[in-house]
Chain A
Amino acid sequence: MRLDSIVNLWTAIFPLVVLLYYFFRKKYEVTTISSTLFWQQSMRETKVSPYLKNLQRNALFYLQMAALLLLVFILLGPFLPKEQAVGGHTILIVDTSASMLAGKEQLTLFARQQAAMKELVVGRSGEPITIVTTGKEPAIVVREQTDGEAVLAAIDKLAVSYEHEHMERALEFARSIASVGGADIHIYTDSLDRAAFAEEDSNIAWTIHGSGDALVNVAINKFGAVKTPQGTEAIVKITNASDIDQTGDVQLMDPITGKVLVDDKFTVEAGKDALLSFKELPVSQALQAEIIVDDDYRPDNTAAILLDSEVSEAVVDGQLHELVKRAFEAVGLAVTTGSANELLSAQDSSIVVTNDVSLLKKGDKPVIIIGRNDKSPEPVSGVLKSSADPLFTIADISDVYVSALYPPFTSYTTIATVGDQPFIQQSKRGDIVVLADIELTDWPLHPSFPLFVWSAAEQLRSDTDTLGLFVPNERKAVLASGRADGLEVFTLNDEYVTTFVDGSSFIAPTRPGIYKARDGDTEKLFAVQLEQSEKELVIGSSYSIGQTAGGTGAEEGKNRIGWLLLVPLLLLLLIEWEVQRRRGYPN
């Protein structure tokens, strides 16, 4: 129950005055008399029990007090919020995105929402409570837990995952949980548009707990760097999302050595962007930018990038079979078809796939050759055998049928054979040569084909020292050697973060920054960056939608109950009157 007009609390003065009046009321005068024989007899009919006696003696006081307090209470405008959970199932959806870390005076929005959740849970002890965290993969923290203590402990353990909330997924997830029996769903986030609830859910009551506060935010919107012959060139775009001009320091540093390269002042006008560029920086593997400014949201004040940016494009020779192109598309690369000249120019920044063996001699980046354009294939028969190369750790090609093979390169290492003929070879530079056209095999029919393509692309990419850029919690397979000790992740300060058994189960850490992945002897850097959407703070209000019990869907209903109390009040006055009439005025 809540109170509407708390201002009327001043009327509590009246019952207090009555209380004081009774405090100063005449007490019982003690008189010793010969015998109480006759008085006792006259009192006997009214003497029941000490409690009732007290009640009887002070009946008028209690009645007056009750009437006045009731009156004050009615003036406060009590109402019952119209929300009740049918079936009692409560689902808490907790936004764990980075923007939940915004907040004034050290108390983040996340901490506030945690407190709000606890309050809710304490109020619903004994009812089943499910907690769902947001993210690309919404997760259930506790499921239909009725033990309040366990739920509170789980809430305490919740932490921000920095990942974008992907609220629509969490909503769908919660809907599927609540599809049977209905539920009261509480969403703890910073902002959620009402449009998310366009479709009407029966039996689900949504309550959205928004941030409510306007916060000052200055963010590094974009941070980029490129190597030039004159040194590294970096650009920092700073966005001011507040109503006042902001000034601060911007620092560029090399996170590996910890050396500060640039320390500069900046000023951003209210609501505007500022673009700062820095030239002729020393060559470094990674760069970190940080702005030191007084705002309410810290995670977006730093950004880190790796200068060896990841290869994410593949250029496929137009003469190759369409399936090859499809396979490269399937492993998540941006694929373009190119002519011989285009292939050559793209060699530095892309994975080149061709049958033109001349490319093996040109450029300085390895390529993938499928088939040969200078020789003709010879029929072949035999069992396909592969060596223990990392290329085949996940792609088992032993049941692939190959009808014909091109002649092999003599200086190259053979890693797969058909019978005793080389099938797949690798150059010293790292080029991967498949000595058959796709049409000559049934390989595309096997699931090992795209896996092999992915492995090959990863291997070409892994010639760089980085694993690339990730967003928090991003699940992306990386090529690992497959050693027993797996893939270990450390921070730049060599603090252990986690270990993955193999590269395919790699999940990026949650906290933004630069990390080291150690795979046996090799060590690669990768960066975790906040998603662009997490660099903006959106103010959201709190509201409720829907009703659990098939109601009209009124928002934040108020069930006024003050008038109900008027009847007992009237009754109290009548009783008071009667007591007064029977007993007469006290002295």
Chain B
Amino acid sequence: MTLKKDVLDPQGKVVQNTLVNLGMNNLKSIRQGKHFEIEIDEEHQASAEKKIDDMCKKLLVNLIIEDYKINKIQ
């Protein structure tokens, strides 16, 4: 989960400025986000993803300001 592109991310900005001060001059941009590791008891990946998508929409993500992606971890 990250803040949407047009939402100011002051924490990401501070991290970015600090890295530039440390000499990482080729740094283009940093967006700070968060992630959840979710275990779910489902036989099929598609239905597991659907349930997790539902969790994101109902609680985990604030869709006004945040974008999210679901990735499978082996």
Partners in one complex: no
